[in-house]
Structure formats: C-alpha cells, structure tokens
Amino acid sequence: MSFIDVLLRQLEEHPDRAFVTEVHGERLEATRGGRLREMVARARRQLRALGLRPGDRVVLVASNSARWVAADLAMLAEGLTSVPLYARQAPAELCRMIDASDPSLVVVEHEGLHDALRHGAPAVPRRVLDALFTALPSVDGSEAPRGADAPSPVGTEHPVTIIFTSGSSGEPKGVLTTVRNVETMLPILDAKLREMMGEAPGSDRVFHYLPLCFSGSRMVLWASLFRGNGLHLSTSLEDLRREMATARPHYFLNVPALLERVRTGVEAGIAGRPLPIRALYRRTIEAFRRHRKGASSAADHAVLFAARKALFPAIRAQVGPDLKCLICGSAPLSDETQAWFSDLLGIPVYQVYGLTETTAIVSIDPVGGAVPGRVGHPIAPCELKLAADGELLVRGPSIFPGYFRAEAATREAFDDEGWFHTGDQAHLDERGSLAIIGRVKNLLVPSSGHNVAPEPIEQALVERLQGVGQAVVVGHGRPFLVAILTGTAERAAVDAALEGFNAELPHYRRIRKYVLRAEPLTPENGLLTANQKVRRKAIEAHFARDLEALYR
C-alpha cells in the first residue's frame, strides 16, 4: 500500500473529521473527510476527461485552501506529477517555471491569474481551480460518485511532485520528489510528532500559514493526513494574528521571520505600558542575556523568577495559550529569539534543517534537548559527512533523484559515491548535533584574505541593534565589511550599538559602515525569495549606489 492509499483511506474512515479548516479571521470553515473525498473524486474525473494519464505533469498555481488540498490529492491518486507554484510570485517568474516543467495542464486559482499568465507561458490547456470540482455525468447519467476509485498504481521511483527551489543563488530548478522519498519521510515525521505532542494523532490542532507549494509545507500537509489529523489553513497573511487566535493551535511550522516579528511586536507593546512593566522587561532581558553567557548573579535569578511569574504568562497567553511547541526552518533563527520563546515563554522551538532536495528534512532538534544555534540531530536514514571545506554532504533514501531535465545541474549536485552537496557550511559536534554556519557560496573574502560567513554576523546584528529587522552583510573583494539594515532604528542608536558590537569581533569581521532604510526586504520587491531567503545578488544590485558611496 502506497502513502497515497493511506491518505485517501483516512478520508474514507473518518468522514466526519475536519481534515482541512480554512481560517477566515474569526470564522472557521471546515471541510470534513466525506466532503474532501467527494471533491477528490470529482477532480479525478475532470482530470481524466481532459485526457491526462499517469506521469503527465500538472501545474497548480493557487493559494492555500481546501480546494488546493483536494486538487493535490486528486493528482496523486491519478498518478500525475503535480507542480505547485507560489501564486504571489511575479508572473514572469511563474511563466519561466511553467515553461521549464513542460506541463500537460495548468490549473490557476482565478481568471485574473489566468490572464496574467496568458502571454508569457507556453500554450497548454488551462483551467480555473473551481472547474475541477464541477460534477461530470457518468456513463449512466448520474453525477460523480461520493467515493473515489483506487489510486493509479505507481512505482517507488515515480515522481509525485516537482517543487522548484527558491532561487536564492540563481535560477530556480525543478526538484523531483519520488514516492520513495515521501514514504521514507512520513513514518519519521509521524514518530517525531507523537514524541513532541505526547498524544495519539487525530486530535492535534495544527495551524499552517506558509504556501503549500513549499517542500516543508507539503510534508506538513501529507504528514497531517497520514496521521489522520486536521490542518487549519491561513487564508490571509495580513491577518495572521487574528487567525492564530481563532485557530488556537498546538503547534505550527514557522520561518524565523515570523518568530522575530512576534518578539518585536511583544516588545513594541511593552514599550507602551507603564514604567514599572517596561523596567521589569528591560531588566529581565539584561538578566536573561547574562544568564545565557553563564555570568548571572543572584539578583538576575530573582528578576527572572519574578518575570516568569508576573509578566511572561500574560505574554504567552497573547502569543498562543494552547501552544505546546513551535517548529522552525527554512533560514537561520536567532539564538536569542529561540531562547526567548523556550526559556522565557516556556514554548519550545524545535529547529528543522533541510532542503527541497532532501524532502524537507535532514535533522531536527530532539524533544527536550533543543540547543539554540544548532539544528538537532540527523533523522535515521540520513548519512552525513563534512567535505574538506566544511560543506555538508548528505546521502540516503530521502534524497531526491535529480533536477527535472537538468542533467548537468544534477551531476554537479552529487559526487561519484552518491553524496548530495547541500551547499551549506556545517559543524557536527561529538554528539552528532548539527549547526549550519552559512552557505558555501555566500562566503565573503574581503581584500584582507579572510573567509567570512555573513549569516552569523547578520543574526547578531538583528539581535543587538534595536529597531533593526533585517541585516545583510556585504564585502566580498572589498577592503572591509558593510551592512544593509532595514527597520525603524535611529542612526545614533545604531552607531552606539555597533561600537560595542564591533569591539567583540576581530578586525576583519567588523561592520565599518552601513546603509539604513525603512523599507523591508520582501518577496514583492524581489529582494527575498518566496520563503523569505535573502537574494544577495539582487540586494547588492538594488543598493549598488549606496554601497559604492560607502566604499568611496
């Protein structure tokens, strides 16, 4: 029995369970197993009526919804290879990925998106998502059956999906994910979630706001269905705070940007509170930092005790009263922010490390043993080793077979022994705990000749410079390092904080000058990828005049 059989059987065995719940502000719209199964059956009949056969590729460009999930399951059941794309991506980029995937059908969320893609993408049949769920008469004239036929049989090497990489260092490439990759990962996720949640599956309230077209999101969806568990889907990124209050989740998958935003929002709220509360919070953070350095005093312990009793329970209730843990991946998370959630709020943050090419996960923090700054231990089937230059190499059944129609890129990604080159610099300690230092290709080599990984410096800048939300360090081939900062910080405050920050660093890692802008880096202005990763080349080009002025 394949994982596809398991997902569909869950819908059949639990027709009254809410498997997908759309969160619309303060309103919940549940799609139960019986209804979702019916939607899958209708979509499968539509796909067959369009002449699609197992192995054909279908592009899906839509935002998260119960219809997205039903379309995805229908494609899996028909043996098709789904190609989900981010609906908010620039139309020109979408057209390039559609062209690269050579699909037999493109399904779009609405007519406006259909029109936006009309002239750029190849001329292949297109349908609006709702059209997949229109009833078709069967041979005897009746509507589509409420159930669904057995899934089309597929082998373990069958590509169930092509997910395009984020393109942070170049043109996106289509990553093939096979039945074997998914069936390796799902039991591991099931066991890990049982350990995290401490109860039988089916009753977890899981919130999800990241686009389902991402690899990690896809595994969250499939793992939830595999476990017979429901998923609460965000429908508006602009209304996340209210949606999370409505969903009251036990856990959800995050990118670091959201956790940083939550912490910043809490601190902004405290800034407007009476002086005693502001003073207690300030003293708590100072004591917390000394405690993390192992230099706390008896007075610091007293302050932390008082804050955990009098201040942080109210903050936790505001952040998420039912949260048992948070899962975070995709980019580096600030050590201090992870510790802030875990040690002060009492909400463990488990970091996950992985790539689209590794079926989303290579390592995850152990329950009860997360260490800020590290990303846990490798999952069971993954073999890890470090290359001579510190690059992390991975091998195992969860590693993808290659990039779609990109043989040269595939050959470059693997060595002769089948080790996949992640492109990440890493450190493995004697206990097998993994830390990601930065991207190999992101290494900066100033004219001093030193190798500098920018990511740790960028994390520290965001931690130390109050009012700075993002930091990008530049300086390859230049005489010194500079930073591009975004946020609401005042220059005088940044200057003062940088003086202390630089004093703790060797000369070649110090930030000599900086650009400060209020406008954040976003996917919409082309300076971040869709899943919040930094596009360094685009950022340097965007700020070229400012950078030249700094160095001049």
301 and 165 belong to one structural domain:
no
At 121, the pLDDT band (50, 70, 90 cuts) reads: low
Percent of the chain at pLDDT above 70?
Answer: 96
**3-class SS of residue 406:** coil
The pair of three-digit structure tokens given for residue 357, joined into one six-digit string: 């090419």
pLDDT higher than 50, residue 500: yes
The pair of three-digit structure tokens given for residue 478, joined into one six-digit string: 């230049």
What is the domain-level CATH number for residue 425?
3.40.50.12780
At 167, the pLDDT band (50, 70, 90 cuts) reads: low
pLDDT digits (tens, 9 = 90+) for 271-329: 899 999 999 999 999 999 999 989 999 999 999 999 999 999 999 999 999 999 999 99
Residue 96 vs residues 74, 117, 164: alpha-carbon distances, Å? 25, 10, 11
151 and 184 belong to one structural domain:
yes
CA 403 from chain centre, in angstroms, equals: 20
What is the domain-level CATH number for residue 534?
3.30.300.30
Indicate the number of domains in the chain.
3
User: Which of 250, 273, 307 is the last residue in one of the domains?
Assistant: 250
Average pLDDT, rounded, for the chain: 91
- Domain containing residue 337: 256-321+325-441
338 and 382 belong to one structural domain:
yes
pLDDT of residue 118: 73
pLDDT of residue 140: 47
User: Which of 250, 281, 305 is the last residue in one of the domains?
Assistant: 250
193 and 339 belong to one structural domain:
no
246 and 261 belong to one structural domain:
no
SS3 per residue for 2-47: CHHHHHHHHHHHCCCCEEEEEEECCEEEEEEHHHHHHHHHHHHHHH
Residue 306 vs residues 25, 283, 291, 321, 531: alpha-carbon distances, Å? 35, 11, 15, 20, 38
Q: Which residue has the tokens 């994390």?
A: 459
135: left (phi over 0), alpha (psi -120 to 50) or beta: beta
pLDDT of residue 168: 53
209 and 238 belong to one structural domain:
yes
168 and 288 belong to one structural domain:
no
pLDDT higher than 60, residue 386: yes
Q: Which residue has the tokens 């139960």?
A: 32
Q: Average pLDDT in the 28-40 region?
A: 97
Q: How far apart are CA 530 and CA 87, in angstroms?
A: 10
The distance in angstroms from the start CA to the end CA of the chain is 65
Residue 383 vs residues 109, 179, 209, 212, 295: alpha-carbon distances, Å? 40, 20, 31, 28, 38
47 and 93 belong to one structural domain:
yes
pLDDT of residue 144: 47
**3-class SS of residue 235:** coil
User: Which of 404, 426, 441 is the last residue in one of the domains?
Assistant: 441
| Backbone φ, ψ for residue 261 (5° rounding) | -70, -40
Q: Where are the alpha helices (DSSP H) in 166-255?
A: 179-197, 215-226, 240-247
431 and 508 belong to one structural domain:
no
Task: Provide the sign of the torsion angle of the four alpha carbons 377, 378, 381, 387, taken in this order.
Answer: negative
For the entire predicted model, the pTM comes to 0.86
305 and 231 belong to one structural domain:
no
pLDDT of residue 139: 46
506 and 547 belong to one structural domain:
yes
403 and 470 belong to one structural domain:
no
